[in-house]
Structure 1
């Protein structure tokens, strides 16, 4: 088997390798959260500077996803993917051996760069490798399994490594995993030639887009840290909007756009990103407020919190892997999404009723199972819908756009919901007051999911299920 002409078995091996790379990136996005207190003590961070260990990664990652996806279309998705892995591995080693705050934050920023280059093109590579509807549904389901379970696994693994070894190992573990992923990618992942850059990439447009998105992510993070009244928030928000607007104007006028604006007129792409924007804005609150509720009301420790979320991760992963593909083939993306969104809606309503003196089996576990079931159905359906509107020439861009929507929607949603919870609790730090704040935020999150349901009902068309089409063709 060659890299350019994979066999049937080779395609599934390549999928496994790509999922391994995605899992490494996803683990790193959450694994560090468990070790933050240890990092603070060892390197002398205060509370405000410690946030940059996380924010440095998120700003680079969220700001570069769309550009990375487009670079994959222009210069070859595997080339960009492997470049991202190389940057990510090198930055991980730098993080592991960092002896100062500046070195660690800078290394985390470059980890975000590598993570964006790697993650942005993976979904585009998968849909190109699997053009057949049934096999594509299975492949996206497997990818959805990884993306849905990676975050919770990171919390558990981070706690185990930090408690058993040291915080340096949460970064150093990426070295053997990353090198193995590179070796297997060179062997099994097919090389997909890019469409070429024509007269050269639109570097000015790339700079406007990247700086605009980075400023947008930074503004959202500042709101989450300091609230909407933070002194610099209006200025950075206005600058982000201005840069993105300037980018769109340039793309409309230039003869060689970095991002063809026609992509945004694609009904499947627009609908999928609209659903995702509203849904993840609501879903991020489940992990954030759920973890706080477990710690503050139920008195769980950090590792117990990670283990408590495992049922959600397992349910979501197994649903994406085993159930989403058959549902997509039989009922189509619209019905599958609506069932999944309804399950998430019910989860949020249950969480909104969780009492301050509640218990995990009755007040948390059922909601987490519903959350996992809903996410396992919605994410593969949404990915499949978005990528159905993409061609080989813009699959990377579509993948990067979907990832950007996920990151930005989740960050905005978390900032808004956190502000609502804080305003409801006021200056009262008691578990009863904070739980009341969580309950109100869950109800607002439920309203966001209702918005996602409305988008799916109005804008997602109902294609003929594949099985019905095949049966009609056989009858004819």
Structure 2
């Protein structure tokens, strides 16, 4: 019998690629912009393209896995990710690069739901699944660090013309290895009943989510412009119609995209609330922290980039060790992790000032990573715990979609508050005030997450009978 953990290792390749390519481009933006003669607006769209494609097709990707087979869709996602990485690497203009990044995001959306679904299927027992989700969390941390490191390393190579192209081409050998092992070692799984696919639902949902994520991603300071308000109103209208359409199809037993039976599971609803507010906090935190460090505290981009490394190391360490704590103490360990993040954020408000030494910065950032790493793996575990196999792909897609949209909302909403309190001609004290207000909003989000976890039934994250 093939090892479960070998299969887990194979599917985590997909998660690694998904996370790595969100971060790998950040450090290379100036050189890409220079070499392809792109404007600031075009670069913003190019960066947004990946996230828009990713967020817009996660639910579709999850449903495709349920209907046509999770192994098959995972491999298709890997294949198109590799092809789009090649077209990114050889792009001669911003339009080609933009389209390639969009396809890359859609390809990632085909892979990501299958990863969570297959983990639930491979590890039905609580203890094994908790360990597997710990490895899932470690992969997120490695992808974050590796993305930042490789982006900076490849972009600084002097032996090549336009070395930034390597940040995309590096995906090719990773995809080839992942496809090879996926074909050989993964088992196929799908819903037991042969079902048709809801193409009209895909069209409605994709257009609605695309319009929403596009508006949120590119709006930044002009969220309430006429164009953005009209586009967001249209997106909300399409999504409301989509929900009504799906309910009618379920009632009449026609092909559907989202099974609202998901909402009957209390832990799924609480998990969605928890992951949404957690990622509103997390992504807005990274966004304002970068602005505060570079523009407020005048820390160089290279030093500011080290932040991700220290936070990532804390994240990986906590994801590895939090497994034993979750198995020993259940959801109390998760709630303790959330309280720890709140405490570290309060310390950051107090100590993040112009006179703060780098060792203090690194320590507080490392501890923040420890807190985050102790929480993230268990959020998915809560939302998907007890989910029947026929709903795992659907549930994984919905979970990932809420996570991504929440991340974008956090950047736009909390970022707007940060800019408001910053003013037009900010001084260091204005930056600290804006940072403080933003962090207080982050703490409020974490309190909501804490309440959601408190309401989760004890049997969702039960204490292990073994002595850990």
Specify the TM-score bucket, using the shorter chain as the normaliser: over 0.9
Residues 307 and 365, structure 2, Cα contact 8 Å, conserved in 1: no
1:69 aligns with 62
Count of aligned positions: 458
2:397 aligns with 400
Measure, in 2, the Cα distance between the counterparts of 1:352 and 1:470.
Answer: 40
Following superposition, the deviation at residue 470 of structure 1 comes to 6.6
Match of 2:46 among 40, 43, 53: 53
Deviates more, 1:146-155 or 1:37-46: 146-155
2:174 aligns with 177
Following superposition, the deviation at residue 301 of structure 1 comes to 3.3
Measure, in 2, the Cα distance between the counterparts of 1:68 and 1:340.
Answer: 31
Following superposition, the deviation at residue 152 of structure 1 comes to 3.2
Measure, in 2, the Cα distance between the counterparts of 1:196 and 1:159.
Answer: 48
Q: 1:98 to 1:253 in 2, by over 3 A?
A: same
Measure, in 2, the Cα distance between the counterparts of 1:445 and 1:17.
Answer: 35
Q: How does 1:311-322 map to 2 (within 5 A)?
A: 311-321=310-320
1:216 aligns with 212
Measure, in 2, the Cα distance between the counterparts of 1:302 and 1:97.
Answer: 27
Is 1:433 the equivalent of 2:425?
A: no
Tell me the SS of whatever aligns to 2:375. helix
Following superposition, the deviation at residue 14 of structure 1 comes to 1.3
Q: How does 1:12-51 map to 2 (within 5 A)?
A: 12-51=5-44
Q: How does 1:224-243 map to 2 (within 5 A)?
A: 224=220, 226-243=221-238
Residues 156 and 303, structure 1, Cα contact 8 Å, conserved in 2: no
Q: How does 1:85-164 map to 2 (within 5 A)?
A: 85-164=78-157
Deviates more, 1:104-113 or 1:210-219: 210-219
TM-score in terms of structure 2 length: 0.93
1:461 aligns with 457
Measure, in 2, the Cα distance between the counterparts of 1:261 and 1:351.
Answer: 41
Tell me the SS of whatever aligns to 2:187. coil
**How far does the alpha carbon of each residue in 1:260-300 deviate from its partner, in whole angstroms, 9 at most, with x for none?**
11102211111111011111101112322222233234443
1:474 aligns with none
Following superposition, the deviation at residue 58 of structure 1 comes to 1.0
Is 1:365 the equivalent of 2:358?
A: no
Measure, in 2, the Cα distance between the counterparts of 1:260 and 1:195.
Answer: 15
Following superposition, the deviation at residue 302 of structure 1 comes to 3.1
**How far does the alpha carbon of each residue in 1:169-210 deviate from its partner, in whole angstroms, 9 at most, with x for none?**
000111111111111111222222344552x21211121111
Measure, in 1, the Cα distance between the counterparts of 2:359 and 2:465.
Answer: 44
Residues 14 and 189, structure 1, Cα contact 8 Å, conserved in 2: yes
Following superposition, the deviation at residue 469 of structure 1 comes to 5.0
Gaps spanning 5+ residues in structure 2: where?
Answer: none
Deviates more, 1:109-118 or 1:310-319: 310-319
Match of 2:248 among 244, 253, 256: 253
Measure, in 2, the Cα distance between the counterparts of 1:271 and 1:11.
Answer: 29
Measure, in 1, the Cα distance between the counterparts of 2:193 and 2:205.
Answer: 20
Q: 1:259 to 1:160 in 2, by over 3 A?
A: same
Q: 1:217 to 1:296 in 2, by over 3 A?
A: same
Following superposition, the deviation at residue 253 of structure 1 comes to 1.0
Measure, in 2, the Cα distance between the counterparts of 1:470 and 1:153.
Answer: 35
TM-score in terms of structure 1 length: 0.92
Residues 148 and 308, structure 2, Cα contact 8 Å, conserved in 1: no
Gaps spanning 5+ residues in structure 1: where?
Answer: 1-5, 472-476
Is 1:275 the equivalent of 2:271?
A: no
Residues 346 and 370, structure 1, Cα contact 8 Å, conserved in 2: no
Tell me the SS of whatever aligns to 1:278. helix
Q: 1:436 to 1:153 in 2, by over 3 A?
A: farther
* Root-mean-square deviation over aligned CA pairs: 1.8
**How far does the alpha carbon of each residue in 1:113-166 deviate from its partner, in whole angstroms, 9 at most, with x for none?**
111101121111111111222111111110111123422331122111101251
Tell me the SS of whatever aligns to 2:156. helix
Aligned structure 1 segments of 4 or more residues deviating by more than 6 angstroms: none
